[in-house]
Amino acid sequence: MKQAGIYVNDVFCGILREDEEGFHFAYDEDYLTRKDSVAVSPTMPLTEHRYDKEMMFPVFDGLIPEGWLLDIASASWKIDRRDRMSLLMACCKDCIGNISVKPLSDE
């Protein structure tokens, strides 16, 4: 299972996981209690319920480079272009915008 910590405005907000069933995102309980917490996307409002999807969530998939930059990232890190979770974890630690992704160890 691959998993990554998701940060909004440099504040930990939840965990994104990939397993054989697809992708799962859940907001952190502490993040939900903060007055300044914001959703990662309008399509993923703040909730204590887990989001599940067979394919990568669009808000996270949109962070992954495209075109020639994807070619460079894929070749440099030897990651298959179709391995969206690995690309997200390798390329999106310091993205443009307010979302960042940091790999977590496998559990």
Looking at residue 106, what is its pLDDT? 56
Structural domain spans, the chain: 2-104
User: pLDDT > 70: what percent of the chain?
Assistant: 98
Looking at residue 107, what is its pLDDT? 47
Q: Write the pLDDT tens digit of every residue in 22-32.
A: 999 999 999 99
Q: How many CA atoms lie within 13 A of 24 on its CB side?
A: 13
Looking at residue 95, what is its pLDDT? 83
The model's pTM: 0.91
- Cβ-based neighbour number of residue 2 at 10 Å: 17
| Mean pLDDT confidence for 31-41 | 96
- Cβ-based neighbour number of residue 19 at 10 Å: 11
